[in-house]
């Protein structure tokens, strides 16, 4: 992974998935036709609002350091892990 933002988005995606697993009943609730997409979008927006805090300076620095190690290993022709 040569782009630190990819790692940050992976962490964000995992947090959103964890939230959505807890909101499963809301996602599959029976709704009238025409309201399903709006209700799901609201749930997704709520998931992002609660999860976005995971992307902080510590995480960005951690992912940047990981990228530096990966690039250095590639320059030394070492296997990627």
- Total domain count, the chain: 1
Instruction: Render pLDDT for 28-45 as a digit per residue (tens, 0 to 9).
Output: 888 888 898 899 999 999
Is the pTM higher than 0.85? The answer reads no
Is 9 domain-assigned? yes
Q: What is the pLDDT of residue 1?
A: 60
Count of C-beta atoms within a 10 Å radius of residue 74: 12
Is 81 domain-assigned? no
Quick one: tokens of 39?
């209700």
Reference 2, options 70, 72, 81; nearest CA is 70
- Domain hosting 63: range is 4-75
Is 47 domain-assigned? yes
Is 67 domain-assigned? yes
Is 80 domain-assigned? no
Q: What is the pLDDT confidence band of residue 81, given thresholds at 50, 70 and 90?
A: low
Residue keyed to tokens 């998931």: 47
Is 60 domain-assigned? yes
Q: What is the pLDDT of residue 10?
A: 95
Is residue 50 classed as helix, strand or coil in its secondary structure? Answer: helix
């Amino acid at each position: 992974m040569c782009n630190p933002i990819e790692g940050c988005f992976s962490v964000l995606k995992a947090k959103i998935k964890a939230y959505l697993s807890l909101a499963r009943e809301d996602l599959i609730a029976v709704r009238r036709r025409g309201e399903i997409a709006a209700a799901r979008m609201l749930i997704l927006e709520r998931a992002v609002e609660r999860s976005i805090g995971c992307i902080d300076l510590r995480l960005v620095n951690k992912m940047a350091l990981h990228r530096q190690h990966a690039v250095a290993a590639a320059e030394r022709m070492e296997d990627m892990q």
